[in-house]
Amino acid sequence: MGEATFTFRVDDSLKEAFAEAAKGQDRTGAQLLRDFMREYVKEQREAAEYDAWFRREAQIGLDQAKAGMLIPGEEVEAHFAARRAELRKRLAASE
């Protein structure tokens, strides 16, 4: 993998403060900037992957709803009411 030079302008005081902070970590500013860039790229990739997954899941739900594959709200409420009751019962028994 080749290397490229990345040049940009920054205020002198920021550059000096950044270099001093990097030195305090036994790192160079360039090393830290590469780390920051890698982390930023990783975060953006993960965010894009999550967004794509979420959109796929939402579309599945929409498609199922359009196909009539729905559970009535009352049935959902009854199911989770029973689960809450069971959990309360187990918690009471463990006290």
Residue 1 has pLDDT above 80, yes or no: no
Average pLDDT over all residues of the chain: 96
Closest alpha carbon to 32 in 47, 16, 21, 45: 21
| Cβ contacts of 40 within 8 Å, gap of 6 or more | none
What is the average pLDDT across 61-86? 96
What is the reported pLDDT for 95?
87
Band (pLDDT 50/70/90 cuts) for residue 42 is very high
Band (pLDDT 50/70/90 cuts) for residue 24 is very high
Phi-psi region of 68 (alpha: psi -120 to 50; beta: other; left: phi over 0): left
pTM greater than 0.75 (yes/no): no
